[in-house]
Amino acid sequence: MATKRSKTSKGFKNLKKTNAKSEIGVTPTGSEFLEQISKRLGVAASEVLDHLAKGKLAVKAHHPEMTVAVKMTDQKTPAVDVVTEESVTPEQLKELEIKLQSKEEKIAHLEKQVAQQDTLQETYQTTSIQSEQQLLYIRELEETRSRNRQEIQKLNQQLTQLQTQIARLESQYQTEIATKNQQLEALQAHVARLESFANIGEKQLNRWRSQNIQ
């Protein structure tokens, strides 16, 4: 277990590069974020950034807009690759739902065929006279049924994958809608405050004009 250092909260406002004259400005949110990670890990803020740069420390987030991949090169310098998450559209969800319905219909059709083949096989097997042609037909039915069952298993796997993908995309889509609604509400509240300030200013201006006219 790592031992916490006594002075982990210093150096968050302007983190200096080692052996460099430039400084990196940190926002209040970034400062608080670094401080929390620093306290959790029991290391200094500079070490947190060093671990991030070397790819030793990863930060997880729900539905991030971008993902940064860090890989150390032969020169011991980090190579950074930024991956932007794709946005989910209702059209994509609709297309997946259509594929899902098609798979379900195909599975139902194959299962119906298997049931019919089972019935036919039982009928032939219970017949007193087993001709060579009947036995051959039974073998063909068994082979066809085996292939259909394999196809059903394969389609069921694809169906499960599609269901998982749809659930993930629907969750991501709902999260994006909720985020946009929050942004809209915040913007409306800001506009309302500005209108309130404008009304107050207009009243004061009218009062000042009235006093000057008198």
**Encoded amino acid at 141, one letter:** L
State residue 36's pLDDT score. Answer: 87
Residue 8 to residues 5, 28, 41, 46, 190, Cα–Cα distance (Å) = 6, 16, 10, 9, 37
Residue 7's nearest CA partner among 48, 43, 50 is: 43
106 and 179, same domain (yes or no): yes
139 and 96, same domain (yes or no): yes
Total domains in the fold of the chain: 2
80 and 125, same domain (yes or no): no
Q: Which domain holds residue 41?
A: 14-84
Q: Sorting pLDDT into bands at 50, 70 and 90, what band is 122?
A: confident
198 and 142, same domain (yes or no): yes
Structure tokens at 25: 């400005």
Full-prediction pTM beyond 0.75? no
97 and 74, same domain (yes or no): no
2 lies in a domain? Answer: no
55 and 94, same domain (yes or no): no
Among 29, 61, 84, the domain boundary falls at 84
124 lies in a domain? Answer: yes
99 and 181, same domain (yes or no): yes
At which residue do the structure tokens 């509240």 appear? 189
Quick: pLDDT tens for 84-102. Answer: 555 556 777 788 888 888 8
99 and 196, same domain (yes or no): yes
4 lies in a domain? Answer: no
44 and 101, same domain (yes or no): no
Q: Dihedrals φ, ψ of 55, to 5°?
A: 75, 15
Q: What are the start-end ranges of the H helices in 90-130? A: 90-125
Among 66, 84, 102, the domain boundary falls at 84
Confirm if 97 and 165 have CB atoms less than 8 A apart. no
Among 84, 106, 138, the domain boundary falls at 84
Mean of the pLDDT values across residues 207-211? Answer: 74
State residue 11's pLDDT score. Answer: 40
159 and 64, same domain (yes or no): no
Mean of the pLDDT values across residues 114-133? Answer: 74
